Structure 1
């Protein structure tokens, strides 16, 4: 393993290097714990849809808590832009101790409007050292539907747009900014509480960093942070030298853009030359007047994530990791959107990019690349007047699905995939705090892509609303294009989104906003993961186990895997299985 080098000629103490590196990460981890424990909304305190980081005075990412892969790049790209914009307007050096900048504008390279960033400068002995920052997905930021998700044509319909503004001035809350934001959102209590939790997290980060700087001083810490960046770059370039060289291409489609019904085509060409990684999205569809676009930061995040999965996981993630990566994304395309297009579905786009990039690398790297996954964030949001309190409420969650089968393992069932690391909202907490009943929360049998290593099963969630008439939105995908199988494996089952009203069921599609009547139910079945390798090569005992656990039916065991299970008992009929697997077409 390469050792950290000194670019300034000084000696590097490897023990001190690790102490400082981990101390910086732990400062962000303590920010993370503080944010979780002081937040109000389920989406943050339970589902953990947030991230915390430390950025140096030059705007370079130094350390980040283990939270959301979707925010791997966003904070590092946003902070220097936000600070530069604020100081260009108000004067260089106008930020001081206790200040806090608020921003969520995707066209300033944040993510979507729900992701609200709070940035605080860190000073030591009067000198600017860096910034602590966090990002939280707020349960509502206004817009055309509760939870601020939906098929909107322009970003102006998606919610309140926050340019770079001060929420805290020398430690004091700027009440007018908070009032303006709360006047534009539905879930006022949750949003106000979560903003204060973001401030508390930054304050803890500043305290921990202050203690670290008091102990080691700016000279030592500055030198070692420089070496940390160089070390990550050095390690990544060493890993790139071991990856297959060449160009690898793939493409795929989102179901539709949410407005026209036309699929959104995404293309990528990846080049590894032994020292750099180039991701070229030329040929991707132009941006739409619709929500299914992502900005360059979200696109870059997907590329960083994919590369991180292919190399040694021990490489620290900081500015040095980004240096060998080049992203070509034509401006005005669905992966590098220009205003005023919508971006609320941007993470849905970035998630699908991960699947497509892995598909491009499936042949040169079969032992490292999984089959297709649920391939979407799968946003679900609803809100209305709570019949018990008379107050307006909002709820948002994202639903899990099947992961792809891998070279040596099945795909996990009902998990969040790729850049998504949120947890599922527990039924008990959801029903306790919101006027909804969860009638079913289960795996979807026979939803896996069959294979030597099968794909993971999809998730079913069925909601019923009693005593009021809420608005319900899905912003998701995978209803038309399934998770792909690899190396002879089958595709997974597509997702379905249905409304059950008055005893009749109808399809909603993957992107819809509907007004519900009392007693209506919404049933969502997410997508299953793709299979890896031919299904007839799967161990019959593994097929039997899946059938016995209710994950697949006896009929599917026979038809998809060529495994016959004896009637009335849980045992493989070996003779019939051999016959089935010798039959033409297997």
Structure 2
């Protein structure tokens, strides 16, 4: 039996592992060329042991790093461990062999220490275009083969020598090779750094010590999650919602049902009752996305970094107590060759519904309904030179009210964790301009003791004819209020032509390959979060702040919050009438 590592050394090695993953992620996004990686940081990086357990992960998009063990298991079907050589680089993105979805290309390098395979350095990043049916993003396609290049565990480098045929194949099958190939080079550099730093860590402490520390750290994270799960009363907890449509068959809702079964220190997320798989790409890869969403939900709810005094490493241990069930042939476990690229809105809703299901027994940890969707927009066109330009951006939304504070406004909530794309970057490189980018002002946030967050509105205008694909949802199902809070506001997508002074018209949340003319403006208005707690318990001063911020009107403050506001002449326009507020609230409570 291996010797137990003392707590101080354990902490030092744990910190070193996390620092390696962070440095890998930093190299990847700083060296990349496409804005979706370079600015939005739509990526993940980390180290993995011989059993494909996550040893550490970068603080980036949770979806990416949690999926890499699935990539490694998928790669093993083509490359057994005995076939790895020092200097190998494997590329992989097949959604039915563990990948999160096809645009998320994984790069994996083996780690050899003194001639022996000891683990893997790996990362994933969302690539701008992989030659799919429509530029950048896809929704309405018939099968997985229409998603573009499927790279199933292929050696891009073998023993340090690049496979030029494969390199040329990838370069020749993307609309933007100048960006995609440079992004791949950044991924390779990040993986190489992971190999180097992990070997240096073993040089410092010894292989046996590092491997034993890694096992103890994983066991510790598992113990910490099990400890928190055990505090939840045993039972079955259910929540339901729906998606707008599948991107083709309009106005046909897709049910989402989540049942959380808690038994002792184990938990199962059962998605039975959710929609059957659909004939478009609006399905979810089970290994690379569905399971990862459920792992994330419990780590976020129960092991939040800022609400736990103990240091809890981000590793495989936090996955072990969580079982995930989804019937084969359902939207969360499709049967190949069903397309499954447009999967993020669905897993956002799974996380939100897990929170909703557990809210009655975890009232101090849950939020009201979050936006729990994704506005993933792809803009594209062809330059006069005949070259494509492609932009992918992720638009912010909002969180629901929380046990002790309002929901954050205009934020990448839940599983997204990406950064917004600077407008200057858009203007410098692409024939588009942003006409509007601000907090939504056409609706009120979900009212509550702690209100829901305000959504964002972004309007992008084409300066040349082009194309657009928009992957989104939640135009119909508003974020839920909780404990007396009111529901939030659903999303909207609007289009008009600025040159023709048209009135904006509402369109469906998702559409594929829409032709855009010069002057077309596409506006996305994201959901606003639901409210937490009775609005009549909201601090009147916070209601006044919302009025001064122009989030609400005096009439809304009076009718919903029972707060009486009076005009004043101190430069703030409005002030509180507290005696009248107390009297009105007493009357409203009695009613």
Range into which the TM-score falls when normalised by the shorter chain: over 0.9
Q: 1:18 aligns with which of 11, 36, 40?
A: 11
3-state SS of paired residue (2:195):
helix
Counterpart for residue 408 of structure 1: 404
* CA deviation profile, 1:194-219 (whole Å, cap 9, x unmatched): 00000010111111112112222222
User: What is the distance in 2 between the residues matched to 1:455 and 1:172?
Assistant: 54
Alpha-carbon shift at residue 156 of structure 1 (Å): 2.1
Q: 2:361 aligns with which of 364, 379, 383?
A: 364
Matched, 1:539 2:539: yes
Q: Given that residues 469 and 518 in structure 1 are in contact (C-alpha distance below 8 angstroms), is that contact kept between their aligned partners in structure 2?
A: yes
Relative to structure 1, the CA distance from residue 522 to residue 128 in structure 2 (aligned partners, 3 Å threshold; closer, same or farther) is same
User: What is the distance in 2 between the residues matched to 1:72 and 1:363?
Assistant: 30
Matches within 5 A, 1:505-524: 505-513=504-512, 514-524=514-524
Matches within 5 A, 1:14-413: 14-87=7-80, 93-261=82-250, 262-297=252-287, 298-313=289-304, 314-386=311-383, 391-413=387-409
3-state SS of paired residue (1:303):
helix
* CA deviation profile, 1:325-370 (whole Å, cap 9, x unmatched): 1111111111111212121221221111011111001111111100
- Greater CA deviation, 92-101 or 312-321? 312-321
Alpha-carbon shift at residue 548 of structure 1 (Å): 0.4
Q: Given that residues 493 and 507 in structure 2 are in contact (C-alpha distance below 8 angstroms), is that contact kept between their aligned partners in structure 1?
A: yes
Q: Given that residues 132 and 149 in structure 2 are in contact (C-alpha distance below 8 angstroms), is that contact kept between their aligned partners in structure 1?
A: yes
Relative to structure 1, the CA distance from residue 582 to residue 220 in structure 2 (aligned partners, 3 Å threshold; closer, same or farther) is closer
Alpha-carbon shift at residue 396 of structure 1 (Å): 0.4
* CA deviation profile, 1:83-116 (whole Å, cap 9, x unmatched): 34223xxxx5222111111111111120111100
3-state SS of paired residue (2:206):
helix
Q: Size of the alignment, in residue pairs?
A: 573
Structure 2, unaligned stretches of length 5 or more?
Answer: 305-310
Alpha-carbon shift at residue 565 of structure 1 (Å): 2.3
3-state SS of paired residue (1:342):
coil
3-state SS of paired residue (1:146):
coil
TM-score when normalising by structure 2: 0.94
3-state SS of paired residue (1:323):
coil
3-state SS of paired residue (1:330):
coil
3-state SS of paired residue (2:237):
strand
- Greater CA deviation, 235-244 or 185-194? 235-244
3-state SS of paired residue (1:507):
strand
- Greater CA deviation, 220-229 or 521-530? 220-229
3-state SS of paired residue (1:333):
coil
Alpha-carbon shift at residue 275 of structure 1 (Å): 1.7
TM-score when normalising by structure 1: 0.94
Moved over 4 A (4+): 582-586
Q: Given that residues 465 and 521 in structure 1 are in contact (C-alpha distance below 8 angstroms), is that contact kept between their aligned partners in structure 2?
A: yes
Alpha-carbon shift at residue 274 of structure 1 (Å): 2.2
* CA deviation profile, 1:224-267 (whole Å, cap 9, x unmatched): 22222222222222222222322211111111111112111111
Matched, 1:550 2:546: no
Matched, 1:482 2:486: no
Alpha-carbon shift at residue 492 of structure 1 (Å): 1.0
User: What is the distance in 2 between the residues matched to 1:489 and 1:284?
Assistant: 27
User: What is the distance in 1 between the residues matched to 2:522 and 2:139?
Assistant: 16
Relative to structure 1, the CA distance from residue 508 to residue 153 in structure 2 (aligned partners, 3 Å threshold; closer, same or farther) is farther
User: What is the distance in 2 between the residues matched to 1:11 and 1:61?
Assistant: 20
Counterpart for residue 581 of structure 1: 585
- What is the alpha-carbon root mean square deviation over aligned residues? 1.7
User: What is the distance in 1 between the residues matched to 2:253 and 2:446?
Assistant: 23
Alpha-carbon shift at residue 186 of structure 1 (Å): 1.2
